[in-house]
Structure 1
Amino acid sequence: MTKTRLLTILLLNAAGFLLFFSWYLPAGHGFWWPIDSGLFHFFNHKIVENQTFLWFVAVTNNRAFDACSLLCMGLLMLWFWRGADPAGRRRVVLIGLTMLMTAVVLNLLGQSLIPVQRTSPSLSFGDVVRVRDLLPNVPTKDASRDSFPGDHGMMLLIFAGFMWRYFGQKAFMVGLAIFIVFALPRMMIGAHWLTDIFVGSFSVVLIGLSWVLLTPLSDRVISLLNRTLPGKYKQINNN
């Protein structure tokens, strides 16, 4: 690993820690609190005022919509899989497995090491209108007993990071678009605070994912999986 890359990792780690502590250390979460509470109440009022918006957040926070996020990620991976030769197709699959392993590990570390137990805004205020009360027959996720850091947003950010590392800038931009489309509805419905995603998820990814993608670690995991998993075309070229 070059000195430049190590410096990049350390800068990303510093940004992650600064982002987290800018929220964690100040009393009442400092300048983040009015942003968090203001956005929640803005969208919570919209749920009552606008029937179209009510149905939008109900549908986009249904478990079936979560499956749509997996489908979008899978389709992007499929695009690169279809354009590769047999050995390259195996490599795309191994990249996907490495990404899933990374997501599980970083999510477990984030949940266990961050000293925060936080309920979602829909459970934190007394003047809340919940979607499940307005649409009782529509199953939707509008609350969480432990919302920080946002695990759904974290997974989407990890996906975008892997797209950048192995498939380039255009794939990264598509990954970011998937993140925005599928992470923001959680905030709009009140299942997550803004900072669950843009502080919690981002800080974990900045700190943890940089050591995976900017070091030889991810390439070595892919190589290990290639040697140990059955199938043809085991020889791949690591970037």
Structure 2
Amino acid sequence: MTRPNTLHILLLNALGLVLFFSWYLPPDHGFWFAIDAGIFHYFNAGLVNSRAFLWLVAITNNRAFDLCSLLCMGLLMLSYWQGATARERRHIFIMGLTMLLTAVVLNQLGQRIPVERPSPTLTFEHVHRVRDLLPISTKDASRDSFPGDHGMMLLIFAGFMLRYFGRRAFVTALVIVVVFSLPRMMSGAHWFTDVFVGSLSVVLVGLPWCLMTSLNDKIILWFDRHLPGKYKQASNISS
């Protein structure tokens, strides 16, 4: 079981709150708006300046491409699954279930933040939209984009990789976060701050109470005791 480090948890919570309120409190979101607008207009201009870039954005924002992020996350976990014992594999499977449960709970909490924010493609006038430039189904707008649920799932995955598999897995997971959160920003379906303020602040406030206390280990142990299987005693790979 993980011994809680309350000071570290509170520091991460404070960081998340400071990050959120640095965006939420200033009129027009303060300096964050300039960052958001600059990133959006840079990528939006690229849609008409480069046909190859336009197709890249269209393909990577197709719903089918979301499966690629799941595939990459699955392959990272598979790399640890292959060298594991039967008991360790059971633990990895249950950890994955717990990760999904945590993502659902934190996402629901994030959706209760009193912010309704349309994506930049629905905020600015005279913008280029992928669906108007190519005959392909793609996500290039959202009526309520804050916080980014896709980015939140990726960040939660990174947190679980750090907790259960170490720094090398965490670094790989961070690459996955950047690669698969970037397409939504390139298409204008999300602002930069939807992920790196909204999603990140929710994760910094909620996830430490799961991964830096015994809560998550207790949930894994409960699943281990109640799910059918030959190896019902959880392994100790989480220590």
Fold similarity call, TM over 0.5: yes
Match of 2:223 in 1: 225
The aligned amino acid for 2:176 is I
CA distance in structure 1 between the partners assigned to 2:188 and 2:176 by the alignment: 20
Q: Is the 8 A contact 2:13 2:204 kept in 1?
A: yes
| Stretches of 4+ aligned residues off by more than 4 angstroms | none
Residues 136-176 of structure 1, C-alpha deviations (whole Å, 9 max, x = no match) = x2111001111000000000000010000000100001100
Alpha-carbon distance in 2 for matches of 1:33, 1:82: 45
Q: Return the offset for 1:237.
A: 3.6
- Output the CA distance in 2 between the equivalents of 1:111 and 1:117: 9
Q: In structure 1, which of residues 206, 209, 229 is the aligned counterpart of residue 207 of structure 2?
A: 209
* Partner residue in 2 for 1:162: 160
Shift of 1:127: 1.3
| Native 8 Å contact 2:59 2:138 kept in 1 | yes
Matched, 1:105 2:105: yes
Which protein, 1 or 2, shows the higher relative CO under an 8 Å CA cutoff with sep ≥ 6? 2
1:202 and 1:21 map into 2 onto residues whose CA distance is 13
1:56 paired residue number = 56
Question: 1:50, 1:237 → 2: CA distance?
Answer: 52
The answer for the alignment partner of 1:74 in structure 2 is 74
Determine the C-alpha separation between the residues in 2 that align with 1:38 and 1:62. Answer: 24
Provide the TM-score with structure 2 as the length reference. Answer: 0.97
1:1-31, CA deviations, whole angstroms, 9 ceiling, x for partnerless residues?
Answer: 757x110000000000000000000011001
Which residue is 1:183 aligned to? 181
Distance in 2 between residues matched to 1:233 and 1:79, nearest whole Å: 21
Note the residue ranges of structure 1 that are not aligned, 5 or more in a row: none
Matches of 1:223 and 1:146, distance apart in 2: 37
- In structure 2, C-alpha distance between the alignment counterparts of 1:122 and 1:146, rounded to whole Å: 12
Deviation, 1:213, is 0.4
Question: Residue in 1 aligned with 2:20?
Answer: 20
Aligned to 2:114: 115
Confirm or deny that 1:195 pairs with 2:162. no
**Deviation readout 1:18-45 (Å, 9 max, x if unpaired):** 0000000001100101111111111111
Is the 8 Å Cα contact of residues 154 and 177 (structure 2) preserved in structure 1? yes
| Paired residue secondary structure (1:180) | helix
Structure 1, residues 160-202: CA drift from partner, whole Å, max 9, x if none?
Answer: 1000000010000110011111001111110000000110010
Partner amino acid, structure 1, of 2:40: F
Q: Is the 8 A contact 2:155 2:177 kept in 1?
A: yes
Alignment of 1:110-149 (within 5 A): 110-112=110-112, 114-135=113-134, 137-149=135-147
Distance 2:78 2:94 in 1: 13
TM, length-normalised to structure 1: 0.97
Structure 2 unaligned residues grouped into runs of 5+: none
Q: Using the alignment, how far apart are the partners of 1:179 and 1:2 within structure 2?
A: 28
User: Helix, strand or coil for the counterpart of 2:105?
Assistant: helix
Letter in 1 for 2:141: A
How many residues are aligned here? 236
**Whole-Å Cα distance in 2 between the matches of residues 42 and 164 of structure 1?**
33
Corresponding letter in the other structure for 2:70:
L
